[in-house]
């Protein structure tokens, strides 16, 4: 996270994830500013392929335009990556 926010466009969060390890699904969680999990890969699975994958995550039900959220992605080596959006 660089201190900025990634914009949500028409209720969808667009991002790319570059991963050298193959897996069937992207493991992720979305946290609100109170650090509560509001969305997970169990409720909205995203399939990945080896290499660069582009995703769009439907966040229309949680985004209200004023609060921020954090997307946490975990790869197969248990490394975590973060993206802040609102």
Query: What residues does each domain of the chain span?
Result: 12-85
Indicate the class that CATH gives domain 12-85.
Answer: mainly beta
Q: How confident is the model at residue 57 (pLDDT cuts 50, 70, 90)?
A: very high
Q: How far apart are CA 72 and CA 43, in angstroms?
A: 15
Model pLDDT, residue 42: 93
DSSP 20: S
Q: Phi/psi at 73 (nearest 5 deg)? A: -110, 135
Question: Residue 23: pLDDT above 70?
Answer: no
Question: Residue 48: pLDDT above 80?
Answer: no
Helical segments of 10-61, H only: none
Q: Which stretches does DSSP call E strand in the chain? A: 12-19, 27-32, 37-40, 51-58, 69-74, 80-85
> Does the predicted TM-score (pTM) go above 0.85?
yes
For residues 46-50, give the mean pLDDT: 76
Question: Residue 78: pLDDT above 80?
Answer: yes
């Amino acid at each position: 996270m660089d201190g900025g926010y990634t914009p949500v466009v028409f209720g969808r969060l667009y991002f790319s994830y570059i991963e050298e390890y193959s897996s069937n699904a992207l493991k992720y969680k979305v946290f609100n500013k109170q650090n509560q999990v509001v969305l997970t890969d169990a409720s909205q699975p995203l399939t990945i392929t080896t290499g660069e994958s582009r995703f769009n995550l439907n966040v229309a039900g949680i985004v209200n335009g004023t609060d921020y959220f954090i997307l946490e992605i975990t790869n197969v080596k248990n490394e975590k990556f973060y993206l802040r959006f609102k």
